[in-house]
């Protein structure tokens, strides 16, 4: 009929569900955090919409999340009186994979399965939330009843997670007055999730800082007890917040399950008043290199969630998670107006500076921890070298490189410059796809023989910033594969070695012959002090693009 229908899940959802059901991942508790975070999101969306349409709140202005258990029936219900979903929204949100993180998760699983390691998936579930579908880790069947705020229709979405879901209308008497009720029919081995102690423990552990109060009803007919007051963590003084509380909050705001590598929490006072709480993740999110490269800093105004689309950090810091709560923006500001607001520009500047300076401090105080951050996100931060000229200096100071002298570790440019050889006027680089491979390039022979350190650049982004003509402490970056190497003035380490270039008549004769032979294939043939063991190598011209950059342009079809 028109109103009741069964539909197959999108293929990827079916695969994800299959994984959930057969998951060997032991920490199934995470499903509750996902469902509570969805409920909180729904409440925050309503809080925002109600700024311009207060009637949406009706006679139920208080927003809350209510967990209710029925140990006898073996069910757990997560209810919210937030924005709710229409029929179409339900089909779209719960029948397809909308969020990019989950999409990349699926791709990673496919790769892991292709390599015959099905276990990886189970571990990944634990590291990253995969949203609503994690309910099927504990439930044999899930019913979602929802009524969108202001609507006089309610709908039931139902599935056993085996390939199909159904959608049917519900009479209003059986639906929440507003919002969503997710009913989990717990699987036989998951009945503990209908017990008070289990639920209390998990909420305290995982969701104590969700900015919406959480209540608990132990069994049908029992009174509701408060589990969490919904006070916003970021409004509390730094000194009163424990590392564990920060971690819990990070996990709920980032949807990741790792520990933050860096926590930046500060209140700006004076011309603009705002609070920022931002985290650098301890692990790479799935969607780090996504094409749309959206930031993930939420904007609040006086504790009301406004948008997560405000681009509060530059794109090269898009891996940072967290929020900014402004005291100055008007609550009823539209999302479009926010984008262009000068106030937002000031906030963006302030938060960016603080994140970068806190990263610099981490680099100074805990090189190992910073090394991990750089390993995870350095390739993204380096985009800033050509996107944010104002902060080049700062970014170059953060940058760490594999070099011909770094061994297993990395080197900073400060260290590089401190080790410059006599008469060395440039910072030498070599770019390629693989640091180990380029380290063996014949182009490096002459540099090795003189003890000159060369940066091994193996990230695709390196080709870009190296080509953008910047320098560090007055020393330009120069590719060893480009132009003449000018190494003549720098002494060889082995004083007894013969000079590599002998301007003999034999050499000039050879060069003339080679030029004849190669004709228009090459621009020039030159004797060079770049090589010690190899006979010849190809280099790019003085002015043109570096060879790796040429390859990069060719590969991207430019």
Structure-block tokens of residue 286 = 């799935």
Q: Which residues of 261-270 are buried (b: 16+ CB within 10 A; e: fewer)?
A: bbbbbeebee
CB atoms within 10 A of CB 300: 22
Is residue 44 involved in binding ligand ADP (CB under 6 A)?
Answer: no
The site for ligand ADP, by CB under 6 A, has a size of: 16
**Among Mg ion, ligand ADP, none, what does residue 279 contact (CB within 5–8 Å per kind)?**
none
Q: Does 39 bind ligand ADP (CB under 6 A)?
A: yes
State which residue, 91 or 369, has the beta carbon closest to ligand ADP: 91
Which residues, numbered 124-163, are part of the site for Mg ion (CB under 5 A)?
131
Nearest to 101 by CA among 125, 84, 117: 125
Task: Closer to ligand ADP by CB, 99 or 475: give it.
Answer: 99
Least distance from Mg ion to the Cβ atom of residue 173, Å = 29
Nearer to ligand ADP, 83 or 268 (CB): 83
* Residue 80 touches which member of Mg ion, ligand ADP, none, C-beta under 5-8 Å by kind: ligand ADP
Helix, strand or coil for residue 516?
Answer: helix
Among 99, 294, 315, 526, binds ligand ADP (CB under 6 A): 99
Regarding 82 and contact with ligand ADP (CB under 6 A), the answer is: yes
39 binds, among ligand ADP, Mg ion, none (CB under 5 to 8 A by kind): ligand ADP
Least gap, CB of 78 to Mg ion (angstroms): 12
295 secondary structure, DSSP code: -
Residue nearest ligand ADP, Cβ-based:
131
User: Between residues 252 and 410, which has the closer beta carbon with respect to Mg ion?
Assistant: 252
For ligand ADP, which stretch binds (CB under 6 A), given 11-19, 35-43, 269-277, 459-467?
35-43
Q: Residue by residue, what is the 3-state secondary structure of 342-382?
A: HHHHHHHHHHHHHHHHHHHHHHHHCHHHHHHHHHHHHHHHC
335-360 b/e (C-beta count within 10 Å ≥ 16 → b): eeebeebeebeebbebbbebbbebbe
Contact flag: residue 80 with ligand ADP (CB under 6 A): yes
Contacts of 411 (CB under 8 A, 6+ apart): 400, 401, 402, 403, 405, 453
Residue 99 contacts which entry, ligand ADP, Mg ion, none (Cβ below 5-8 A, type-dependent): ligand ADP
Taking a C-beta distance cutoff of 8 angstroms, is the pair 293, 383 a contact? Answer: no
Q: Quote the CA–CA distance of 321 and 256 in Å, as a whole number.
A: 10
Per CB under 6 A, 537 contacts ligand ADP: no
Using DSSP's 3-state secondary structure scheme, residue 265 falls into strand
Both tokens assigned to 537 = 């190598």
Question: What is the contact mask toward ligand ADP in residues 162 to 201, using x (rule: CB under 6 A)?
Answer: ------------------x---------------------
Stretch that binds ligand ADP, among 7-15, 78-86, 305-313, 322-330 (CB under 6 A): 78-86
Stretch binding ligand ADP (CB under 6 A), from 38-46, 163-171, 213-221, 306-314: 38-46
Q: State in angstroms the smallest separation of the CB of 320 from ligand ADP.
A: 18
The first and second tokens of residue 369, run together, are: 């921890």
Pairing mode of beta strands 475-479, 179-186: unpaired
**Alpha carbons 25 and 101: distance in angstroms, whole number:** 19
Query: Which partner, ligand ADP, Mg ion, none, binds residue 93 by CB below 5 to 8 Å per kind?
Result: ligand ADP
Tell me the closest approach of the beta carbon of residue 99 to ligand ADP, in angstroms: 4
Which residue intervals of 271-341 are DSSP H helices? 335-340
Q: How many whole angstroms separate alpha carbon 245 and alpha carbon 235? A: 13
Tell me the C-alpha distance between 445 and 530, whole Å: 6
From the CB of 17, what's the least distance to Mg ion, in Å?
16
Q: Is 230 left (phi over 0), alpha (psi -120 to 50) or beta?
A: left
Q: Which of 23, 29, 38, 456 binds Mg ion (CB under 5 A)?
A: 38
Q: State which residue, 124 or 449, has the beta carbon closest to Mg ion.
A: 124
**149 counts as binding ligand ADP under rule CB under 6 A:** no
- Considering beta carbons, is residue 131 or 260 the nearer one to Mg ion? 131
Q: Cα Rg for the chain, rounded, in angstroms?
A: 29
At residue 328, the 3 state secondary structure works out as coil
Which parts of this chain interact with ligand ADP (CB under 6 A)?
34, 38-39, 41-42, 80, 82-83, 85, 93-94, 98-99, 131-132, 180
Which parts of this chain interact with Mg ion (CB under 5 A)?
38, 131
């Amino acid at each position: 009929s028109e109103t009741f229908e069964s539909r197959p899940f999108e293929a990827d959802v079916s695969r994800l569900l299959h994984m959930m059901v057969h998951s060997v991942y032991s920490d199934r508790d995470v499903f509750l955090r996902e469902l509570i975070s969805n409920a909180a999101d729904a409440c925050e969306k309503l809080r925002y919409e109600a700024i311009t349409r207060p009637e949406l709140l009706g006679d139920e202005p208080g927003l809350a999340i209510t967990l209710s258990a029925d140990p006898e029936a073996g069910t757990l219900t997560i209810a919210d009186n937030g924005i709710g979903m229409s029929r179409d929204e339900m089909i779209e949100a719960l029948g397809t994979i909308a969020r990019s993180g989950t999409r990349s998760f699926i791709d990673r699983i496919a790769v892991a399965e292709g390599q015959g390691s099905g276990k990886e998936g189970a571990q990944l579930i634990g590291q990253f939330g995969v949203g609503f579908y994690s309910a099927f880790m504990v439930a044999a069947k899930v019913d979602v009843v929802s009524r969108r705020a202001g609507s006089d229709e309610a709908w039931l979405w139902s599935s056993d997670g085996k390939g199909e879901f159904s959608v049917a209308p519900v009479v209003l008497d059986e639906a929440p007055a507003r919002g969503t009720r997710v009913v989990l029919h717990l699987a036989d081995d998951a009945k503990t999730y209908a017990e008070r102690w289990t639920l209390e423990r998990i909420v305290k552990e995982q969701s104590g800082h969700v900015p919406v109060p959480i209540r608990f009803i132990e069994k049908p007919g029992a009174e509701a007890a408060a589990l969490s007051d919904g006070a916003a963590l970021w409004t509390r003084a730094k000194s009163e917040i424990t590392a564990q509380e920060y971690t819990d909050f990070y996990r709920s705001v980032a949807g990741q399950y790792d520990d933050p590598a860096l926590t930046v929490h500060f209140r700006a006072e004076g011309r603009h008043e705002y609070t920022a709480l931002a985290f650098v993740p301890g692990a790479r999110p799935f969607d780090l290199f996504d094409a749309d490269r959206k930031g993930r800093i939420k904007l609040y105004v006086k504790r009301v969630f406004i948008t997560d689309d405000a681009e509060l950090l530059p794109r090269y810091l898009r891996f940072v998670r967290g929020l900014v709560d402004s005291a100055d923006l008007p609550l009823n500001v539209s999302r479009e107006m926010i984008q262009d607001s000068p106030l937002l520009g000031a906030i963006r500047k302030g938060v960016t500076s603080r994140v970068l300076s806190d990263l610099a401090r981490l680099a100074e105080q805990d090189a190992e921890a910073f090394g991990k951050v750089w390993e995870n996100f350095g390739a993204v931060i380096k985009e800033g070298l050509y996107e944010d000229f104002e902060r080049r200096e700062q970014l170059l100071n953060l940058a760490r490189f594999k070099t011909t002298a770094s061994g297993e570790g990395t080197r900073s440019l400060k260290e590089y410059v401190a080790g410059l050889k006599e008469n060395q006027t440039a910072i030498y680089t070599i770019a390629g796809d693989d640091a180990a491979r380029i380290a063996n390039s014949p182009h490096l022979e002459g540099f090795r023989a003189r003890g000159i350190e060369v940066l091994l650049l193996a990230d695709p982004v390196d080709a870009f910033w190296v080509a953008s003509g910047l320098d560090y402490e007055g020393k330009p970056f120069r590719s060893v594969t480009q132009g003449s190497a000018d190494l003549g003035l720098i002494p060889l380490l082995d004083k007894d070695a013969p000079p590599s270039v002998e301007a003999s008549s034999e050499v000039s004769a050879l060069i003339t012959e080679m030029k004849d032979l190669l004709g228009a294939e090459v621009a020039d043939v030159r004797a060079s002090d770049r090589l010690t063991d190899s006979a010849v190598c190809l280099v790019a011209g003085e002015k043109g693009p570096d060879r790796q950059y040429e390859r990069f342009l060719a590969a991207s079809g430019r």
